[in-house]
Chain A
Amino acid sequence: MSARWLVLAAAVALLAAVPWFGNAVLIQFGINALLVAVLAQSWNILGGFAGYVSFGNSVFYGLGSYGVAIAMAQWNLPFWAGLMVAAFVAVAFAALLGWPILRLRGPYFAIVTLGISAAMSALAANLDIAGKNVGLILPLTRADALFYEGSLVLLAAATLTVAWIAHSRFGMALIAIREDEDAAGSVGVNATRFKIAALAMAAFFTALAGGIHAYWITYIDPAGSFDTTLDLRMVIMTMFGGPGTVLGPVVGALVLSAIYEVLADSISTAAALFFGIVILVAVIFLPRGLVDLGGGFRTMGWRYFLANIRQYRI
Chain B
Amino acid sequence: MSAALFEARGLVKRFHGLIAVSEVDFAIPRGAIVGLIGPNGAGKSTLVNLIAGAARLDEGELHFDGARIDHLPAYARAHLGIGRTYQIPKPFPDLSVRDNVAMGAMFGAGGGVRDRARARAMADEWLDFVGLAAQAGFQASRLGGPDRKRLEFAKALAMQPKLLLLDEVMAGLTPVEVDAAVGLIQRTRDRGVTVLVIEHVVPAIRRLSDTLLVLQQGRLIASGDPAAVLNDPRVIEAYLGRRRA
B111 close to A188 (CB less than 8 A): yes
B81-118: contact bitstring with A at CB < 8 Å (1 yes, 0 no)? 00110100011111100010011101111011010100
B54 contacts the other chain (CB 8 A) = yes
By beta carbon, the residue of chain B nearest A176 is B103
> Known contacts A182-B54, A183-B91, A188-B159: does B75 contact A169 (CB below 8 Å)?
no
Pair A186/B74 contact, Cβ less than 8 Å: yes
Q: Which residues of A contact B (CB under 8 A)?
A: 167-169, 172-173, 175-176, 179-180, 182-191
Chain B: minimal CB distance from A10 (Å): 30
Query: Do A169 and B91 contact each other (CB < 8 Å), given the known contacts A188-B79, A188-B159, A191-B75?
Result: no
Question: Contacts A169-B114, A169-B116, A172-B116; is A187 near B94 (CB within 8 Å)?
Answer: no
Q: How distant is B97 from chain A, measured CB to nearest CB, in Å?
A: 13
Contacting residues, chain A, for B91 (C-beta < 8 A): 179-180, 183
Given contacts A172-B106, A176-B103, contact A185 B54 (CB under 8 A): yes
Given A183-B91, A184-B92, A188-B159, 7 more A-B residue pairs with CB atoms under 8 Å apart are A185-B53, A185-B75, A186-B78, A186-B90, A187-B78, A187-B83, A187-B103
Q: Which residue of B lies closest to A180 (CB)?
A: B90
Name the 5 nearest CB pairs between A and B, nearest first. A188-B78, A188-B107, A179-B92, A183-B90, A185-B74
Q: How far is the CB of B240 from chain A (nearest CB, A)?
A: 32
Tell me how far the C-beta of A291 lies from the nearest C-beta in chain B, rounded to whole angstroms.
16
Name the B residues within 8 Å of A169 (CB-CB): 106, 114, 116
Most buried by A among B52, B78, B108, B112: B78
- Choose among B76, B90, B111, B156 the residue with the greatest number of A CB atoms under 10 Å from its CB: B90
Contact of B92 among A168, A180, A191 (CB under 8 A): A180
| Contact residues in A for B159 (Cβ distance below 8 Å) | 187-188
Known: A172-B106, A179-B95. A185 touches B73 (CB 8 A): yes
Query: What are 24 A-B contacts defined by CB distance under 8 Å?
Result: A172-B116, A173-B107, A175-B92, A175-B95, A179-B92, A179-B93, A180-B90, A180-B93, A184-B75, A185-B75, A185-B78, A186-B78, A186-B83, A187-B78, A187-B104, A187-B107, A187-B108, A187-B159, A188-B109, A188-B111, A188-B112, A189-B75, A189-B103, A189-B107
For the complex, give the distance between the alpha carbons of A189 and B114 in Å.
12
Give chain A residues whose Cβ lies under 8 Å from the Cβ of B44.
Answer: none
Q: How large is the interface on B (under 10, 10 to 19, 20 to 34, 35 or more residues)?
A: 20 to 34
Asked if B155 CB lies within 8 Å of chain A CBs, one says: yes
Residues of B within 8 A of A173 (CB): 107
A188, B74: Cα distance in complex, Å: 7
Q: Which residues of A contact B95 (CB under 8 A)?
A: 175, 179
> Which of A167, A172, A190 touches B75 (beta carbons < 8 Å)?
A190
- The closest CB in chain A to the CB of B115 belongs to A169
Interface pair A168/B78, CB less than 8 Å apart: no
- Give A191 to B109 CA distance when docked, in angstroms: 16
B136 to chain A, nearest CB (A): 16
Q: Is the beta-carbon distance between A183 and B116 smaller than 8 angstroms?
A: no
Q: How far is the CA of A168 from the CA of B90 in the complex (A)?
A: 23
User: How far apart are the CA atoms of A186 and B102 in the complex, in Å?
Assistant: 14
Query: Of B74, B102, B156, which is in contact with the most chain A CB atoms at under 10 Å from its CB?
Result: B74
In angstroms, Cα B90 to Cα A169, docked, is: 20
**A169-B114, A188-B107, A188-B111 known; A182 vs B90 contact (CB < 8 Å):** yes
Q: How far is the CA of A186 from the CA of B165 in the complex (A)?
A: 11
A193 nearest CB neighbor, chain B only: B75
A190–B79 alpha-carbon span in the complex (Å): 10
Q: Distance in Å from the Cβ of A289 to the closest Cβ of chain B?
A: 14
